[in-house]
Amino acid sequence: MAAHSVTSLQWKTHSIINQRPNLRKTIHKSQLPHSLKSYTSLNHSTFLKNCSLQSSIPSPHVSTRRPVSATVLSSLPTANPERFVSADKVPKWSWRAIKAFAMSELEARKLKHANTGTESLLLGVLIEGTNLAAKYLWTNGITLLKVREEIVKLLGKADMYFFPPEQPPLTESAQKALDWAVDHKLKSEVDSPGHKVLATLGFNDEKAKELESLSSGPGFVDG
């Protein structure tokens, strides 16, 4: 009895399969979304071939980063370039001096000053840190933080909405300080902000002469 039932079930199942060879509902191409119609018309092997070709060709990498541009200074600005007979006579600045000048321009921008003054030159010297003047100032308690505080006290806080130029031009006092540096004179105008800041922090004429004697000693090279 059981064997007869199983045999009958197998026969009925086989008969149904023969009558309906495709049990899944057939979807006509016209019923497909427009985005899938082109896919159904492709041959399967052609589709795989296209996929393999696309994956083997590297796509060009498009960088979203902006190119970094930097200006490398070989000399510092001077008010009287005509005093040099030829290009060979232009004084060669050490890398320390060039870095200190670049840092002074950056400090002027951070302070939101329209110009690079003697106070900014002083900050640049201190930030560079490895030159003789910076070491001497640090040793005598004239630190970067103290100088910044005195600058704010002397000149006041700048307008926070003011956007200074990328390279703030030198003030007249700062330009004279650089010109005097060309002539190996370590001094600036008495009325300049940089001189006032140094005087407030205890850097007097005696210490200036001491620093000058150290820098003018035999065999001295600061760069």
Q: What percent of the chain has pLDDT over 70?
A: 51
Q: Which pair of structure tokens corresponds to residue 216?
A: 């003018």
Using alpha carbons, list the distances in angstroms from residue 33 to 38, 41, 71: 10, 13, 58
Q: What percent of the chain has pLDDT over 90?
A: 27
Q: How far apart are CA 153 and CA 146, in angstroms?
A: 11
Q: Where are the domains of the chain?
A: 93-170, 172-209
pTM above 0.75, yes or no: no
Residue 51 above 60 pLDDT?
no
CB atoms within 10 A of CB 22: 6
Taking alpha carbons only, the member of 67, 121, 122, 99 closest to residue 222 is 99
Q: Which residue has the tokens 């950056």?
A: 106
User: Residue 217's pLDDT is what?
Assistant: 65
Q: How far apart are CA 56 and CA 53, in angstroms?
A: 5
Q: Which pair of structure tokens corresponds to residue 149?
A: 């505080």
Over residues 125-175, the pLDDT tens digits come to 999 998 888 898 999 999 999 999 999 999 999 888 999 999 999 999 998
- Out of 38-47, 75-84, 177-186, pick the least confident: 38-47
CB atoms within 10 A of CB 207: 15
Q: Which pair of structure tokens corresponds to residue 223?
A: 């760069």
User: Residue 86's pLDDT is what?
Assistant: 56
Helix (H, G, I), strand (E, B) or coil at 116: strand
Class of domain 93-170: mainly alpha
Q: How far apart are CA 73 and CA 89, in angstroms?
A: 17
User: Residue 186's pLDDT is what?
Assistant: 45
Within the chain, residue ranges assigned H as helices are 2-19, 34-40, 44-56, 95-110, 118-128, 132-139, 144-155, 172-182, 193-200, 205-215
Q: How far apart are CA 1 and CA 8, in angstroms?
A: 11
Helix (H, G, I), strand (E, B) or coil at 170: strand
